[in-house]
Structures are given as structure tokens and as C-alpha cells.
Structure 1
Amino acid sequence: MTDNSVVYDDNIMITMRGVSDSVGLPYTVNPLELVDREALVELREGPAGSAGPDGDPAWPWQWRGDVADFSALRALNLTTADARAAWRVATENKIYYWTGLEFIAFDQAFGRTGKPGPANVLSGTAVTGVSGSAASARITGTSPGQNLELTLPRGVSGDVGDPGGPGRIQDAADVLIDDDHSLAQDYILAWDATRGKFVPAPSPRRGGPWAIAKNQFSGGTNLNEPKVLAAITIPGQPTRWRPQVTGQVRVNAANGNGYGTRCDVEVRIGGPTGELVGYGFGYDIQNWDWVLIGPRFDFPPTPTTDFGVVQPNQTITLYVIAKRVKGSASFTVDTTGAQLIVYAEPIR
């Protein structure tokens, strides 16, 4: 009997091609097409299998941008330190990946539509160009936060509008009021030649008056030692200043005739032994008389000296002291009609 199972003595190439089943019926016939030594078998695709295990993480790429051609890429003389870097060769539209030893080309890396990017939020601004120039537009920034800038030529001047309402002085162009130049109580605007603007400054007028009278004075009889008659506290002022004092108090010897003894009155700053800022000369006479108090300093005051000067924002107390300067008899202080008035004289 002849054996007909052998069709060809040589190998036959068999190609199996999966065919999708859109209806869902099982195949009863799997077609086979034989041409020379090639066989094509169409088989129905089976159901999708389960997901396989995760593969190893891919090596990160370091994208270096575009190069003109492959020759320019080779001219970079890459080493192992440049491993994992990638470029797009513009003439071939391919990505070349450098492993550290060789290039791997990906010729199908471009050509497909990518996923939609984020929506661009386009804002707009308008600026004024030179009168008579052409209008222009440009887009600045990067998506999704770009800005459309329109440059429009300045037009001709219009008619004068209606007068506006009263404006604030501090909003004027030649006035500077900010955190470093702030307004305060009793401040004025003074011209600053360096800045070319008006800036806040303490008022140049003297402060006060502050006064004390009879009930705030302490008198006495048969006194032999210096006596503090009164004290007055002056609040801090915004500038350097010197006290200007005026007043009167009745002081007399207590020996019956007054002759041979004289008592004066001092006004000192900061304490009974502080700097002298006021003085009243007593009288070596029998009858009572007023000791008139006025400004006096131990040294001639000038704008540059600090004698008798109170610094800005400093609270101070002035003391009124009666003391014997001549003779040995005791003395008496009568507070009837006594008073002291103080002014703060700014120093410029």
C-alpha cells in the first residue's frame, strides 16, 4: 500500500492568525490556505487572559532635546556618565537612547496623537503704545497659564472732564506717607529735599503748657535743709526738646526780720540733683516777696548740645527745690499763689 501522508520532503512555514469573534459563536471550521510551502491557518481568538506580573521598573530617561542629525549626536563624544540620556534626531524624527556603550534608535516614537493636555487659561492685559504706532499682540508665559498682551497706540487727548471730588493730601504725587514715614498726632507735612516730597514730621511749635499750682506745692516753716516743693511730670514728645519754665513761690527767712538770710528756688530735670533748667532769686529783706522763676541753665544751650535736653518719646519729671544760699537762719515757704508753668521747646 502506498504511503500518502508525506506531502513534501522540505519544511513548510505555517502562519497562524487570530481572528476576532464579534458574534460570539464558536468556530466549527478553521480555514487552512496552502500556497507552495506556506500554510495560513485562521483561528478564533480566545478570551483575554489575566494580567501578568509587574515587570522591572524602567530606567529613567534624561531628555536632552533635539539635535540636527546623527552625526551631530555622535560628535557629542558621550561616555558612561551620560547613560540613560536621549535625544530626538530631527532629520530622522527618531529618538536615540544612549545606554552608556551604544545608541538604541526608536523609529516609531513620534507620529501618534498624544493625550489631551490641560486646558490653557488665557488671561489678557492691555498696555498703551506710542501715539501713532501700530497695534500689536503677543502671548507670554507657558501653558496652562499664558497671557495675551495687547499693545494699543495712544489716542488723541480728549476733552477736559468734569472736576473730581476732593482728594486726600496723602494721595498726592509729591507726598510720601508709608510705613517708614507715618503720620502721628500733631504731625505736619515738611518738604524733604533729598526725596523731593513732603513727608510727615513733628510739629515745630512748642508743646504744652503743663502747670501745677498751690495745692500741688508743699510748704513749711523753720526749714534749714533744701526742700522739694513740687514735682511735675511731662509726657514724651516726638522731638528733642528743652524745658521752658516760668512761675513763682513765696519764700522768706523765719527770724523775724529776714536780714542776713536769702533763699533761692531751683527747677531741676530728672531729680532734685539733676540738670538745672530754671531758677528764682530770693531777697534778703524783711517782708515777704515773691521769688520769680524763669529759665536758666548751667551752661549756654545750643542746638547741638545735650545739656538740659529731653530725648524723643521720653517721659521726664521736673522738681522745684527751695534752698538757703546765704545766712544761717531758717526759712519759710508759703504756697499761697504758687505755680509753675512748663513748655516743651523743640530743638531743630
Structure 2
Amino acid sequence: MSVPDWAEPALAVVLHRVGRTARQVGSRFPLYAEPGDGRWTTTGRGSWTGGFWAGLLWLRARHRAGVSPSDVLAASACTARLAPWAGSDTATRGLILWYGTALAFEDKGADALRARAARSVLDAWDPRHGLVPWGAALGGERLRARADGVPGLVPLLAAAGPEGRRAADAHLRRHLDLCLPGDGRRPQPSWRYDETSATWTAAPEPAAGWTRGEAWLLLAVADGLLGVGADRSATGPAPDHRPGTATLAEAAEQLLRTGEFLTGPLIPPADARHPDGPLDTSAAAIAAVALRKLALVPDAPWTTACSARSDAILHRLVHAHLTPSDGTRPGGMLLDGCYDSAERTAVWHELVWGDFFLALGLAALRGDVDLTRV
């Protein structure tokens, strides 16, 4: 496969931006940056996005010819600062501790943290409801199910051995049972459990039409199909494909259709109900990686379409939304990301996870990263 001539310069400018960001934020974690001057809003513990910053640092360490010891040290130190999240009551541990460790290489601390997090998440597995609850660590009711509680958690659970693989499969399928209506409507990304009626009911926010939630689900399905996170040398019973539950391939086809991943705009609006509202380049970057992963599924009918669409999304992100290094403002900023359209928070900004998935997509396009492993 030929690599387009724009992929390497784009990846280089994104990773150069990582270096500038590292100098600006120090031991804190970047969250979103102002589109005018690139000034970052940061967090002390990383919130649910901390793993993407660690992942960007590992991508930078991997990219440079003759790996820089200082880059590796910076990535390793950042990953170590994620350790307090391993025991936190939140399904976003998948986002934090999978993406914060999966790109690490020859780092015993990252490997140990991933293993500890995998065991801790498996301990949080709730067999009564067939999932790891959303949790209360970030506020709100604990017994919820959300689309962003699936990506990262599927491979993290799968890394916990045969029991973890079964929990990962069930966690993914339970969320698909809830989120995919099956009647052509867009996915419903957020649910809460009513103890009084013993039923799951749709939560008002995030509502159907949240395109980043749809991209998160597609990414999780792709990981499930590829077995990302599972030790391929491990043995044990196959995941339980329960009667009446759609296959993951069917779920992928439904998501591709209802989420308009192959036919809708390359850069979707943050809320599909408001097509003239803010865009979300981070949703597009996540989708580009998810589509690239789906293109790797053996014998899938969507391979060619997903590969071409992933390339087209990355091309659009690079040529229409990535700031150049021309001196007018910092280069390598993926703009037009939307943190929260409902609250009007950072609606045209650079988002750390948008940068991460753009960099990961470009690295995969160049053949630098094996997406069946991360």
C-alpha cells in the first residue's frame, strides 16, 4: 500500500506540537486549547482524557529516528501519573489506562499499570447487569451505561485473561443491546438503571445524535472484532455469543449505516440534530481510526469502503483543520473540535484526544503502528 505524501509532514507537525505542549503544561495534563493562541486548559490528574496525552507522548517517542531517551522518559513519567485512576470507580478507565499504556514499549511500569488496571476493572464487573457500570468517580449516578464507557475498556478487560475476555465481550454486547435501536434511528448513547422498575431508561444527555458517541461505539466494535487487548497465545473458552444478540459484524454494519460513517459528511457536526452547529473533528479522527481497524477485519464486506473513507477523513482533517507551521499561530493544532456542544464549552477548539486519534491514524497510515494491538 502506498503512503500518501502528506501523511509524514502532517504527523511530524502534530508531534512537534506535542513537544511544545509538553513544555507548556509541565506535569499537568492538557485538555483543550484556544484556537487563537494554542493556550491549553489543563487538569492536575488528567480527568478522562489523561491517557490520550500519555499516548501522544509515546507516539512522539516512537516516531523519532533513533528513539530519544528523553522522549521515552517523558512518556513513561506521564503514564506513571495515571496510576491513581486504576482503582477509580469509572468506566473511563478504559480511555485512561488502555490508551495511556498500549503504545508504551519496553516500559515495565506501563505494563504493570495496565495489568493492575485490567484486574481492577474486572473486579468492577457487574454480572447482574452484564457490564462494568459507568461509575460515580466523575459525578452523577453510578449505575449508568454510556457509549464512551466502552472504547478502551473492551481491550483493557480482554487483557485480564480468559475471564476478562468473556467480560469484555459481554460489556460490549450489553452496550450495543442498549445503544443500537435496531429500527434505523441513530444510536442512543446514554442510559441509566431505575432500581424501582428494574429497567434501563434512556438518559437525556448525551442524547441521540451525539456523533462522538457513535464514533466511540464504532471503535469499540472494531476492537471487539479484531480481538484487541487479548493475548493471542492465551487459551480458554470462547466468548459467549448469546442467543438473540446480534453478531459484532451485524452491529458494525448497523453503526456504519445509522451513523452515516460511509455516506455522511467527512467531518460531522457535534450533534447530528443540529447540522449547522459546531463540527467535531475529534469525532472524525476517532472514526478514521475505527474505520481503519474495520478495514483489517478478515473477509469483511466493508474493507475497501472503510479503508478509502478513513483515508479521506484524514486527508480532510490535515488539509482543512490542522494549523500549518506558518508563524501565525502554533502549527499542528487540530481545530474545530467540540468538547461539549450542549454546554457550549470549547466548541471550536483543539482537543487532546482529537490530536491523539489524528496522530494514531496518520501513524497507522504510514505503517508505524499495528492497529490490531492498540
* TM norm structure 1: 0.19
Higher strand share: 1
* TM norm structure 2: 0.18
- Structure with more contact order per residue of length (Cα contacts < 8 Å, sep ≥ 6): 2
Higher helix share: 2
Structure number with bigger Rg:
1
